Amino acid sequence: MDLRHLRVFQAVVHSGSFTAAGHELSLSQSTVSLHIKQLETEFGCQLFIRSKKKVLLSDAGRVLQQHAERVLIAVVQTETAVRELSTSVSGTIRLGVGASTLNYLLPRSLTSFRRKYPQVELMVITATTEVLLQSLLDRNIDIAIVMPPSPALAAVESTPLIKEELVIVLDRMHPLAVKQQLAPRDLGALSFISHLRGTAMQVLQDAYFERMGVSPRITMEMENMEAIKSLVSFGLGAALLPVCCVQGSHGKGVVPKRIHDLPMSRQLLVAVNDWKTQPRIRRNFIERIRQSLQRPEIVN
């Protein structure tokens, strides 16, 4: 059995069409069709039921899909194991992460890793959880640091990384800035700069407001937490932000406030497509990040 046939077969299964599989593998549709035809000839049965709109797996195709997945994973694991016998460590790690997490939580661990493994190319992109998970599924990145909730998390493998405190952020001249802690009723008179609708942060934010019985007055929505913090510092509204954004020198012009008897946090996760096939250098990279983040966060 030719492994190329199996890879083409899996691409057709995942994409739902010969044309899309060709785009994914940089093959022509006729070449994809030829691979499938040769596979069907080898097994002596039809693997797909063709229609004008899409292709569906036959009963034989479904059986092959189950076994092909295991075969291809085993091939990747074998290749990884053999490569890891080499004494040289090289390659590329493509990391996707939120901008605030990158700016405030990762510089120390990334610097340490690059000093330890200068021959490993580290590529980093920043985006929302939703975009990062899609990039992970599309195999455009290797590792993603994301947060729940997101439906796409069900399609990848993830593990907890760190729980990060969230706080209400006000400008330093705001009348409520003198209070030690805020009460839910304090939030009713505030205008809020919200996270972008449909993002995990916005969903989490709304859940906390609902838990407090507060209907916030949303005056702005945006994706970038640095932009939100800047607008807060100019007195244009309050916001819910990770504590790392506003600690110490990062909190110039703003003050973080906890809500009395209502701790708020977000869970950061590290996600990959398949833990079993991760090379040792990626596992080492993830562990370094995990160890670096195990420190208490303090609100001034």
- pLDDT one-digit tens code per residue, 237-289: 999 999 999 988 788 899 999 999 999 999 999 999 998 888 888 999 999 99
Same-domain status, 167 and 258: yes
Characterize the bridge pairing of strands 191-195 and 217-222: parallel
Same-domain status, 105 and 141: yes
- Mean pLDDT of all residues in 95-100: 94
> Of the residues 64, 83, 102, which one is the last residue of a structural domain?
83
- Mean pLDDT of all residues in 97-119: 91
Q: Is residue 172 part of a domain?
A: yes
Domain holding 20: CATH number?
1.10.10.10
> Of the residues 37, 56, 83, which one is the last residue of a structural domain?
83
Q: Is residue 300 part of a domain?
A: no
Domain boundaries, position 33: 3-83
How many domains does the structure of the chain reveal? 3
Extended beta strands in the chain, E state: 48-50, 55-57, 91-97, 120-126, 143-146, 157-171, 191-195, 217-222, 239-242, 254-257, 265-272
Instruction: Name which of 179, 158, 159 is nearest 167 in CA terms.
Output: 179
**Polymer length of the chain:** 300
Torsion of CA 157, 162, 165, 171, to 10 degrees: -90
- What are 43's two structure tokens? 């097994």
pLDDT band of 210, cuts 50, 70, 90:
very high
Note the pLDDT tens digit of each residue in 13-28.
888 888 888 888 888 8
Largest CA distance in the chain: 78
Burial class (CB in 10 A: 0-12, 13-18, 19+), 293: buried
